[in-house]
Amino acid sequence: MRGLGTGAIRPGGAHKAVMAAVAAIAALGLCLTGCSTGGTGARDEGPAASDPVVAGAAKPSASPAKKEPTRLDVVKMVKDDPKVAKTVKEDLKPCVADEYPVDVSYGNVTGGTANDIVVNVMTCSDAVGLGSYVYRMENHRYENVFQSEEPPVYAEIDRGDLVVTQQMYEKGDPVSYPSSEEVITYRWSASHFGVVSSTRNVYSNAVGNSGTPAPTGN
């Protein structure tokens, strides 16, 4: 055994050396193809599960719905409206703090893309209607398309139509007891309101009166 010396190859040693060399060459080939930044090896197939994901462009969120004008916005709208009578604007003042005597209704009465606004301006003391108005969205702004300024008047939306009530007083009638009222129903057609129906209600003069004659002195 001593004749083998340190430089001799043991039985089976040549085979092991060849296998080691083949493994080294294979490892070197994998490094050249997979480890190179410019290679087209396995990493080109996509990032590994542990690799961070690059965030893409954020998806556009839905545009928020445009808010309807608030009561204070509507008050300003009426005050800035050149069609509104000066007397109505002068009476359009806060009753208490910033509470204005206006009733505001939002709804579709003209068939537009946005809700219409029906405004009733009243007195603070007895809520007598001074003026009724309808504002419609046109060219991205609200436009006055209807108004009635013969007090007492009140407008409202009824099943898609505009209903305006006009109270009639005779001489001596108290504010709480008009002699009659006229109810007119309007419907939007193309670019304006047209009268659909008109009803007049006449009230009894006895309502609200006791009928008892005032006492007389001796």
Residue 117 DSSP class: E
Structure confidence at residue 72 (pLDDT) = 95
From 127, 149, 128, 129, select the one nearest 81 (Cα to Cα): 149
* Sequential pLDDT tens for the chain (218 residues): 433 344 443 444 444 444 444 444 444 444 444 444 444 444 444 444 444 444 444 444 444 456 889 999 999 999 999 999 999 999 999 999 889 999 999 999 999 989 999 999 999 988 899 999 999 999 999 999 999 999 999 999 999 999 999 998 888 887 778 889 999 999 999 889 999 999 999 988 765 554 444 444 54
pTM of the model: 0.64
Structure confidence at residue 15 (pLDDT) = 45
From 87, 146, 140, 94, select the one nearest 119 (Cα to Cα): 146
Structure confidence at residue 208 (pLDDT) = 59
Structure confidence at residue 174 (pLDDT) = 78
Q: Are 92 and 76 in contact (CB under 8 A)?
A: no
Question: Which helix (H) or strand (E) covers residue 194, if one does?
Answer: strand 192-202
For the chain, the straight-line distance linking the first and the last C-alpha, in angstroms and rounded, comes to: 164
Structure confidence at residue 14 (pLDDT) = 44
Structure confidence at residue 206 (pLDDT) = 67
